Chains A and B, each alone.
Chain A
Amino acid sequence: MIAEALAGKRIAITGATGFLGTALVERFLRGAPDCEIVCIVRPTRSFSPLQRIKREVIRNDCFDRLRSELGDRFDDEVARRVQAIAGDVSTDGLGLDFEGLKTLGSCDVVIHSAATVSFESPIDAAININLLGPSRVAQAMHKAKSKAHLVAVSTAYVSGSRRGDVREELVNDAWYTVDVDWKQEVSVAQASLDEAETQSRQLEKLASFNKQARRELGSAGTPLLAERAEKLRSDWVRDRLVQQGKARAKSLGWPDVYAYSKALGEKALLETRGDTPVTFVRPSIIESSLQEPVPGWIRGFRMAEPILLGVGRGLLKSFPGFPEGALDVIPVDKVVAAICTVAALPPPESPKVFHVASGTRQPLRYRDLVELVTEWYREHPLYDANGQAIAVFEWDYPTRSKVERQLQTAHRMLGITERVLRNIPLRRHVGLASAKLEQQKLTIERALGYVEIYGAYTESEARFRIDNTLALFQSLPESDQAAFHFDPIDINWRHYLHDIHLPSIIAQGRVRTKPTKKATVDRSARAVKTILSPDRQLAIFDLEHTLIPSTVLSSYLWFALKHLDTKERISLLAKKLPHAPALVLADKRDRGEFQRAFYRWFSGARIEQLRADSHELFASYIMQLAFPDGIRRIRAHRTAGHRTLLITGTLDIVAEGLRPLFDDVVASSLAVDHNGICTGELAKSPPVGEARALLLRDYAEEHGIDLEQCVAYADSSSDLPMLEAVGHPVVVNAEPRLASTALRRGWHAEHWRRETRSFPLPIPPRVTRSMHV
């Protein structure tokens, strides 16, 4: 009956590129062979609506079954029955052009499933899409003079954080609905956005963003710092609007901004629908399919997956929830079947509501869920990076506040440790440890987010009644009941979780399911292979801490002490060393500023003497410090036929010994007067920070090199502009800030060691005559 009812009909769908939308398109194509689909899709800069549908929907494995059933006819069938028009639910009238309106007007059913489903959307975005979206669809239908049946997909949680039975009734009629003027909510949300934008530009705020950017990136150069500060500002605005959304939703009794905006969206639609027949379909928590198109089909990670994976990964050692409470989960194919059935119904005279939920018919107790999940993980453990099986913890069903307190304490402690590590002037292990701490902090933040957002759902005591839905199901002939089965009574939770859902999300979760460590080694070897590929054209190396652990300070000391006797050496050290802390701080602030200040110490030195001494400096000091792996890598690049370039803020006389390894060397050089005496100034700006990126671009242009085919090696956040400029950035012995950045961006990181464990001091032997023989 359903297939027949839909035959010859045109069904418009918004949100077709989403999880539910994709399943809907597939089900209509497969289950109702004579209907047509019109997808209302927002075009992107690169792809037209139809291209998006083909790329993001039709290519999805959801269609594998249909593809195999139709064989060669699949493409023709899709082309014949699927149409895409440009439309955007965040724009009034959906932004439809004349043709679009005409197409919409020709549709018999409009299914509005587009939504921002994040529980952490900023209030303005949630209101714009979830609240105003349905009304805009209705408005567009009016404009298109459409009399079609509007099926609005909402959520069962529009009932908010209420306890007890929730009947299938309109929000306006429900006892739980707080009387709120949705229009005022819209205007206040817009005002909140304006206010947040204004506040974020206040002097103190801008100063704090700048400070934080510098703390994160160090002396990375003005453009990057500015970019980071602006990102921090926009993040702040977003975060504020997210917080506002949460607060407003909670103040009105909804668990989050999603449920709040969906509820008000229903309300707005009821007010603005005019004579458009409307049916609300309210699913609970939608998860992977039970049967259709194949068991376990899911698109992207939904609400429960991060938590379920978090348990397996040992990230979540407990999660708040009432053991006796029911977590209302519904497989996607049940929801799709219900919507198809509703779409096949004649347009209702008055708005109708259908819950698609499992809680009353086949409840999944929270305790059962936890036990089933832990049981499964014990049989199918996930493995950590060392190949060790991750133990799943016994849950003790703590309260939400207790879990939040524990996580917040851990977060604070990690933050303190991370700050301490960042200020230790050591690299390698410290940098890595700091970066890992930051990752752990992010993990805890994520866990905290799960608890805050999803805790409301695991602690929900609402029971969504499905009287209308069941009545509808029971009114169907047996053949339709078999084909479009949306009664949750047939869900066996053990079978669903153990045999369908968990295997499906594990397969998609990029987690280790075998006790092997090889992947890491392979990844590193693969990365090196990619770096040394013949396709690369240029390898750029920073010097200090990348190829040698020395600093400009130690080179200076070596030069300065070289011609002094013991007494003079002690005197010089006593004079200079008190300046060291200030220089270290200057280095953290701005690398260029530091170098300019520091190189003033060379004032009065004879450049020829420095040049003569530099041979000895290189032979007896620099070579002792060099990282052999670094030297080997340069040589490997040369063997592979790549150009090699050294860019360093170190003095050219110090880097001179390494020149045979490089095609070109760009280094700082001291200015000298006509007598060959150093003035204490630099001959030109030091190649540090953003100057390196600019220099690199010029160099690439001059030599016809594609920067995407370049590899850059560096250790410090001041090298970020250079690393960002190339296609293959590699961080070496990174300082904590850069290590964190690299870890976040997935850049290849290496740790190069010195050949010996002894660390020579920058003190030359006192016999100084006739060194270079």
Chain B
Amino acid sequence: MSRPGYISAVDRNTQPISLWRGETLSRVTLPMGSHVVVPPEPQEANNNLRDIARRAVMEPTAHGLLQERFQPDTKLVLVVRGSHEFGYTLQRDIRRYLVEEVLEIAANQGVDDARILVARGTHGRLDDQQLRSMLGNRIVDSFVPHGLLHQHNIDDESFLEDVGLTSGNFPVNRWLSEATCVVVVDLANSAPGDDDPLWGLFGAPVYRSALQNMLPCSRSELAAALSASCNAHYLVALHNGQVLPKPLAFSMKRDFSGIDTLLSQSASALSNLISSRLARGVHRRLAAQPGICAIATGDREGVAEAIAQHRMSQSSVPLDQPYDIVSIGVSPNAATRTGSPIDPILAAHDALSHAAPFVRDGGVIIFHHDFEAEFDPSLHVASADYYAEVLRAQRSAEEATNHLVPHFASDVWYRNLYANTYAFHGLYPLELMDSIHTVQRRVKQVIGVGSNPVVARDFGFRPSSTLNDALELARESLSISDPSFLHVHNPPSVTAL
């Protein structure tokens, strides 16, 4: 049984803490009397991925064994998530083993119509290396040349079909409706908030409606309806939150040894010496290997419940009451591809979404990031334009909803890039900004420590050069002389219980 997470008070003996500012690491001394989240100890993981996958696939569920679903005339569609939530390349990906096991069982049952569908929603296409990293060379080389692996395109109407989920037009990838058996293979994140992978298989109108709050139900309900309509079988593994590569793992530890402190000091000193660009080059060469601590199989609800329970014990920290001020860093895996810049939208989204569970309504979030207006030119073209044309131009959020959603959704250039390159969809920055605005509306102020002042102001944040200055600003803003202050580690992802 791993030790649970808790909130610790900062005293004289508390050492400066390691803090990720995106690609670079720094050390911050927290003020006396403040609090810091001590994350739960990572759960024990089984590293024999082949074994885990084999056992999971063979495990009986309430609806029987998975192999019983396969007949020689079965049209099998395997759905994998095509989003870039890990940032780092995984050394070994459980999804590859799960997909291989499912395909092997299916082949044994005489199934010869098997396809793989990458559910990417508004995310960019996975490149060859990402696909190979996730699914392995054998699968990629067998499926891709024959057109049996398809990366869903939310704009490709020739590939969309309305399956009549609820009232209204909800086009989804037509492979789903053509399939007689749908198996969803996923590696769930340690923190809650992941959508069902099936959410990434709808057509663009659904994402537009979601942004404009015009869906008749929640995203989760819509995904559940889709899951039910195609009777999807889920194979979901949960990793133990150790999302950083081994050389950087010291920064996620709850108890620092002497060596860890030395590593932290060295990494912090090095970060001061090298540029973000060089730091990105270092990150690009690293791969992560989170351990698999749980796996669930069966129908959507059962799997979701099992995963939620595991998550709770692994990544939640008990919280008596939300804090007035919450400080948080930006994880290096906030990048959608290691080596690409963590632009301000990604950084703000990462920091705010992880800080939100700990801060009270009307409180203050302090994040630590350079916040330079540097965007990945091949992935985040729309984000760069959103910043230049909306945030820089100080256009209102209402306009973003009413005018920009249709504009960014239907822009021919973004659609073309999304379809033919690795660029994210025009709606992607709006999705992130929607989430940022939701948190922003809840709190009184967001302060960026060490952030580019111009960019921070463009987001409606306040820039500050040091944590102490930020705390002073926060006190002023809250009009409280002694507000409660909590610092949250990021990564690993933790949430309040």
Contact = CB atoms under 8 A, between A and B. Distances in A.
A485 B421 CA distance: 82
A623 B417 contact: yes
Nearest to A771: B128
B140 A770 contact: yes
Interface stretch (B33-41, B96-104, B373-381): B373-381
Given A632-B388, A767-B132, A755 B377 contact: yes
Given A619-B422, A757-B277, A770-B140, A626 B129 contact: no
A660 B414 CA distance: 10
B420 interface: yes
Contacts of A626: 377
A746 interface: no
B377 A756 contact: yes
Nearest to A621: B378
B376 A769 contact: no
A661 B416 CA distance: 10
Nearest to B374: A756
Contacts of A618: 420-421
Contact of B128 (A623, A635, A754, A770): A770
B416 to A, nearest CB: 4
B314 interface: no
A632 B377 contact: no
A635 B129 contact: no
B420 A765 contact: no
Interface stretch (B143-151, B299-307, B473-481): B143-151
A626 B381 CA distance: 10
B377 A661 contact: no
A123 B281 CA distance: 68
Contact of A620 (B275, B374, B378): B378
B149 A773 contact: yes
B305 to A, nearest CB: 35
Interface in B229-280: 275, 277, 280
A755 B388 contact: no
Contacts of B281: 758
Given A623-B377, A660-B412, A661-B413, A755 B384 contact: yes
A606 interface: no
B377 A628 contact: yes
B277 A620 contact: no
A54 interface: no
A625 B381 CA distance: 12
Interface in B296-341: 341
Given A620-B127, A756-B277, A660 B416 contact: yes
Interface in B342-382: 374-378, 381
B145 A770 contact: yes
A758 B141 contact: no
Nearest to B387: A628
Contact of B423 (A623, A635, A660, A769): A623
B216 to A, nearest CB: 33
Interface residues of A, number: 27
Contacts of B150: 773
Interface string A737-760: 000000000000000001111100
Contacts of A657: 420-421
A455 B233 CA distance: 96
A615 B423 CA distance: 13
A615 B420 contact: yes
Given A632-B388, A770-B140, A620 B422 contact: yes
Contact of B375 (A619, A755, A768): A755
A228 B384 CA distance: 43
Contact of A632 (B129, B145, B385, B422): B385
B381 A623 contact: yes
A431 to B, nearest CB: 22
Contact of A773 (B151, B374, B413): B151
B395 to A, nearest CB: 15
A60 interface: no
A199 interface: no
A639 B416 CA distance: 17
A388 B376 CA distance: 38
Contacts of A439: none
A481 to B, nearest CB: 68
A624 interface: yes
B277 A628 contact: no
Contacts of B443: none
A628 B381 contact: yes
Interface string B412-433: 1100110011110000000000
Scoring B128, B141, B275 by chain A CB atoms within 10 A of each residue's CB, the highest score goes to: B128
B143 to A, nearest CB: 9
A758 B127 CA distance: 20
Contacts of B375: 628, 755-756
B413 A635 contact: yes
Contact of B421 (A623, A628, A635): A623
Contacts of B287: none
B144 to A, nearest CB: 4
Contacts of B413: 631, 635, 660-661
B131 interface: yes
A373 B277 CA distance: 54
B377 A770 contact: no
Interface in A9-30: none
Interface string B11-33: 00000000000000000000000
B228 to A, nearest CB: 29
B378 A624 contact: yes
A748 to B, nearest CB: 20
Interface in A585-638: 615, 618-620, 623-626, 628, 631-632, 635
A754 B277 CA distance: 14
Given A628-B388, A632-B388, A767 B421 contact: no
Interface in B113-160: 125, 127-129, 131-132, 140-141, 144-145, 149-151
Contacts of A625: 377
A628 B385 contact: yes
Contacts of A619: 127, 378, 420-423
Contact of A767 (B125, B129, B389, B417): B129
A661 B417 CA distance: 11
Contact of B376 (A661, A756, A767): A756
A619 to B, nearest CB: 4
Contacts of A771: 128
A770 B381 contact: no
B195 to A, nearest CB: 23
A623 B277 contact: no
B131 A773 contact: yes
A750 to B, nearest CB: 15
A765 B151 contact: no
A713 B66 CA distance: 61
A628 B375 CA distance: 10
A620 B417 CA distance: 11
A627 to B, nearest CB: 9
Contacts of B417: 623
A295 B412 CA distance: 63
A758 B388 contact: no
A754 B140 contact: no
Contacts of A632: 385, 388-389
Contacts of B385: 628, 632
A128 B132 CA distance: 85
A765 B149 CA distance: 21
Nearest to B416: A660
A619 B422 CA distance: 6
A693 to B, nearest CB: 28
Scoring A618, A657, A755, A773 by chain B CB atoms within 10 A of each residue's CB, the highest score goes to: A773
10 contacts: A619-B421, A620-B378, A632-B389, A635-B413, A756-B341, A767-B128, A769-B140, A769-B141, A770-B144, A773-B128
Given A620-B378, A623-B381, 5 more contacts: A615-B421, A619-B421, A628-B377, A767-B129, A770-B128
Q: Which 7 A-B pairs have the closest CB atoms?
A: A619-B421, A770-B144, A623-B378, A755-B377, A660-B416, A773-B144, A758-B277
